[in-house]
Amino acid sequence: MSYSTLFTCNPSWGKIEDIPSSTEELFWSNIVENVTNHNFRVLSLFATPMNNALHLVCILGNDTTSLLKISRFELINNTFQSHASIIPQIHLFEREIAEQFGVTVHDHPWLKPVRFEQDFSLHVKKNACGDLNYFQVSGEDVHEVAVGPVHAGVIEPGHFRFQCYGENVVNLEISLGYQHRGIERMLQGGPSPQTLSQMEVLAGDTTIGHSLAYVQLVEAMAGIHVSQKSELIRIVLLELERIANHVGDIGALSGDTGFLPTASYCGKLRGDFLNLTASITGNRFGRGGIIVGGVGYDIDFNLAATIAKQLKVLQSKTLSAIDLFFRSTSVLERVENIGKITKEDVITYGFVGIAAKACAIARDTRKNYPFGYYNAISYDIPLEASCDIFARAMMRRAEIVSSLELIHNMLRSIQEIAIQKPTRVNDVVLPSNALGISLTEGWRGEIVHVAQTDEHGKLVRYKITDPSFHNWTALSLAMREGQISDFPLCNKSFNLSYCGFDL
């Protein structure tokens, strides 16, 4: 008996009735089988009402074959059996399901709140934010350090609990949720005039990554065609976003090692890349750049030439500023062999993006599940292998280089045909009772959006998975047995999103 629906491209959608509803047993045994023996991993796992009953929906992806498998089953008595011990990469998904729908998850290793949000149907918060049963270590010389939610810098809030033995960290537990704005629930009933704008602010530094995931999904479901030039401009925007953030991150890492030259140059250069984005969309974060049916702003011949010229200047300044950082022995001492995770961790816990690629695991949506114009170009994923802070910094350098090249290629292909700016369609008509999935590669890694519509084609469920959802666990692991004084650097080397996780 078939238990799942197969999608072969990104984005894709299908009618819900065409996704066979299996039994709980079959649902799990197939996931376990696919994950353990066939190289699949869990891209998304969530609860949603379908035909008046709560269902679990799982989306598996195979990075080599690009296949996406979708399966579902109806929850009986609002409970299910946890499989987090067998497939640790779903531990957080299971916790999320329990929190969002009040589902009882039997035998979960440690069922805790995820972001202290209200139950989707009861609208109650069970715990105050941060009120958590933290993992604790006891014994002589063991002490606890608690940091946050308000931190020293100009950054987002989160709470960190270190269990320390002397200077060494035995365990770090991260409790988030302070940025929780209830976005998934707000999206229900859309698409509406707010929807696209809300996608742009899921995580402000990933405006393009998230808005692209959304519009792709809507375009696929509504059958909207996008011109080739628009696809090209989308890539320019997405890669500019990647470069700006990576440059900023290397600057921040440099600042935390106390190496100020690169910190200050990169701080400035990041702004220059943001200003390039602003030269296209008027906004430094690319707001309004990606819209349903195309792009909000054209790049004509002149603008393409200006951008290409500025990129050349920025390119040499950026690379020389970064190389100064990698040449400094005082820097290397702080980043080499520190904050290590392992390749096995990546596979076990399902880490994505920079964290995975710095462990020589080629997880990159642009290659694995190509979307838009990436289908037309070949893209080699740069990799690093030392799994430490150094590797994650080097990964950023490598991606800056490859993204610069991508943008140059795109700009060269830009032709003097002005794009028809589509009028912003805020009331797109989506097919009824359908489920669609869309993936993009944001600068932090894989972004997954899943949309489900009701009988009127309105969104009943919109599931968002930011790369940070998976990767916060990586930071915890990287700190084990490390020194507490290495935390700021380790943290910056991942530079995860609080709001992208908290939603």
Residues in Cβ contact with 248 at an 8 Å cutoff, skipping those fewer than 6 apart: 266, 267, 270
Q: Left, alpha or beta for 174 (phi > 0: left; psi -120 to 50: alpha)?
A: beta
Identify any residues that bridge with 463 across adjacent strands, giving them in sequence order: 450
Question: Which CB, 283 or 483, lies closer to ligand SF4?
Answer: 283
Contact letters for other proteins, residues 51-90 (x by CB under 8 A): ----------------------------------------
Tell me the closest approach of the beta carbon of residue 261 to other proteins, in angstroms: 5
Question: Which CB, 139 or 153, lies closer to other proteins?
Answer: 153
118 binds, among ligand SF4, other proteins, none (CB under 5 to 8 A by kind): other proteins
Q: What is the C-alpha to C-alpha distance for residues 214 and 217, in angstroms, rounded to an integer?
A: 5
Contact residue for ligand SF4 among 75, 105, 186, 201 (CB under 6 A): 201
Tell me the closest approach of the beta carbon of residue 329 to other proteins, in angstroms: 12
By the 8 A CB rule, do 495 and 242 touch? no
Per rule CB under 8 A, count of chain residues that contact other proteins: 67
Question: Which CB, 73 or 297, lies closer to other proteins?
Answer: 297
By the 8 A CB rule, do 83 and 29 touch? no
Tell me the closest approach of the beta carbon of residue 183 to ligand SF4, in angstroms: 11
Question: Which CB, 380 or 427, lies closer to other proteins?
Answer: 427
Contact residue for other proteins among 102, 271, 431, 457 (CB under 8 A): 271
Contact residue for other proteins among 20, 102, 149, 488 (CB under 8 A): 149
Q: What is the C-alpha to C-alpha distance for residues 485 and 337, in angstroms, rounded to an integer?
A: 15
- 198: number of Cβ within 10 Å: 18
Contact residue for other proteins among 63, 94, 99, 205 (CB under 8 A): 205
Distance from CA of residue 252 to its chain's centroid? 20
Tell me the closest approach of the beta carbon of residue 299 to other proteins, in angstroms: 11
Characterize 400-431 residue by residue with b for buried, 16 or more Cβ atoms within 10 angstroms of its Cβ, and e for exposed. Answer: bbbbbebbbebbeebeeeebeebeeeeebebe
Closest Cα partner for 211 from 160, 263, 146, 281? 281
**Cα→Cα distances 325→254, 257, 287, 340, Å:** 7, 10, 32, 20
278 lies in the site for other proteins, by CB under 8 A: yes
Closest Cα partner for 172 from 339, 393, 332, 331? 339
498 lies in the site for other proteins, by CB under 8 A: yes
Which residue number places its CB atom closest to ligand SF4? 201
For ligand SF4, the binding residues (CB under 6 A) are: 201, 204
For other proteins, the binding residues (CB under 8 A) are: 115-118, 123, 125, 128-129, 149-150, 152-157, 177-183, 185-186, 193-194, 197-198, 200-205, 207, 261, 264-265, 267-268, 270-271, 275, 278-285, 287-288, 297, 317, 320-321, 324, 327, 423-424, 426, 497-499, 502
